């Protein structure tokens, strides 16, 4: 076949990629509209598919497969492909500014997926939310995709709102963390929520020895303290200086955070933790 043929036609897999659809969804959609059919464990063109411009192509690696003209994108069937669109974790989080790996932790918190040695596996609850289990073609790692409407799902949207609450939004002073801590501030709540979701064991407001001081956060497995210095009231400054002296006297490993770190905990805090021997993911 000529180079022009390869340049002007797309395989069904390439078509799926261009439309941001899982490949299996692409084949299912074309079969649903009668363009292709399954015959003896192989996809074949129907008369309808031939009419829409489908052709066969052969390669030594893949054998015979189906290709489509590039102008097939203009067809009303593919124009309506968005209703078949499934989103991965990164796609879901993009609208909220949440990284995909944290989205997966949130979906696990809801019980829709679980992490295994193979990757993220769909649970029965996830299937009820119309999630699909897929496998990376190169690595074999498992992952899940979700219908576009998942962003409006009540439990997920509430969890996102809970995670992203800002002090200015918190009219009712709701500072209870996802894992049940009654926090001193919205900022502390956001730190509690992040540590909990990424799976780091921590203690909140832990006593510092026999003193009357308390650490904001303590990671017992790594013996690392986290202090959030977000306030500038005189009493807070006195407390800060006293705690800093305690850490120095007891050789305590402490990560000190200011307000700007909260804008991107998944990057800023994860990096600081890794520098101190704590892996967040």
Residues 6+ apart with CB under 8 A from 2: none
* Average pLDDT of the residues in 149-169: 80
The average confidence (pLDDT) of the chain is: 86
Is the full-model pTM beyond 0.75? no
User: CATH 3.40.960.10 residue ranges in the chain?
Assistant: 174-275
User: Which CATH fold would you assign to the domain 174-275?
Assistant: Endonuclease; Chain A (3.40.960)
Structure tokens at 74: 């203009």
Residue 139 burial by Cβ neighbours in a 10 Å radius (0-12, 13-18, 19+): exposed
What spatial distance separates the first Cα and last Cα of the chain, rounded to whole Å?
48
- Whether pLDDT at 79 is above 70: yes
Give 22-40 pLDDT, tens digit per residue.
787 788 889 888 999 989 8
Contact 188, 176 (CB under 8 A): no
More confident residue, 85 or 203: 203
Give 193-212 pLDDT, tens digit per residue.
999 999 999 999 999 988 88
- Quick one: which of 62, 64, 63 has its CA closest to 54? 64
Give 171-198 pLDDT, tens digit per residue.
455 788 999 999 988 899 999 999 999 9
- Whether pLDDT at 98 is above 80: yes
- Whether pLDDT at 233 is above 80: no
**Rounded Cα–Cα distance for residues 32 and 22 (Å):** 15
**Rounded Cα–Cα distance for residues 104 and 86 (Å):** 15
- Quick one: which of 178, 173, 177 has its CA closest to 189? 177
Share of the chain above pLDDT 90, in %: 48
Q: How confident is the model at residue 239 (pLDDT cuts 50, 70, 90)?
A: confident
More confident residue, 20 or 215: 215
**Rounded Cα–Cα distance for residues 240 and 49 (Å):** 71
**Rounded Cα–Cα distance for residues 104 and 115 (Å):** 9
CA distances from 237 to 65, 233, 242 (A): 70, 6, 9
């Amino acid at each position: 076949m000529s180079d022009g043929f390869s340049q002007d036609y797309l395989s069904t897999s390439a078509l799926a990629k261009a439309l941001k659809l899982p490949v299996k969804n692409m084949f299912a959609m074309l079969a649903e509209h009668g363009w292709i059919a399954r015959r003896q464990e192989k996809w074949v063109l129907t008369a309808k598919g031939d009419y829409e411009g489908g052709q066969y192509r052969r390669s030594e690696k893949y054998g015979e497969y189906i290709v489509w003209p590039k102008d097939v994108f203009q067809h009303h069937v593919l124009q309506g492909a968005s209703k078949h669109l499934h989103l991965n974790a990164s796609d879901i989080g993009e609208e909220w500014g949440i990284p995909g790996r944290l989205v997966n932790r949130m979906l696990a918190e809801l019980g829709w997926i679980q992490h295994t040695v193979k990757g993220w596996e769909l649970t029965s609850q996830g299937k009820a939310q119309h999630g699909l289990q897929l496998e990376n073609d190169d690595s074999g790692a498992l992952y899940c995709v979700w219908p576009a409407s998942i962003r409006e799902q009540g439990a997920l949207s509430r969890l996102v709102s809970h995670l992203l609450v800002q002090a200015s939004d918190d009219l009712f002073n709701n500072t209870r963390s996802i894992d049940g801590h009654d926090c001193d501030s919205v900022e502390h709540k956001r730190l509690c929520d992040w540590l909990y979701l990424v799976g780091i064991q921590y203690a909140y407001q832990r006593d510092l020895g026999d003193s009357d001081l308390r650490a904001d956060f303590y990671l017992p497995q790594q013996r690392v303290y986290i202090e959030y210095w977000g306030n500038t009231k005189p009493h807070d400054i006195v407390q800060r200086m006293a705690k800093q002296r305690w850490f120095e006297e007891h050789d305590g490993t402490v990560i000190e955070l200011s307000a700007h770190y909260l804008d991107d905990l998944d990057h800023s805090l994860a990096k600081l933790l890794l520098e101190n021997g704590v892996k967040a993911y």
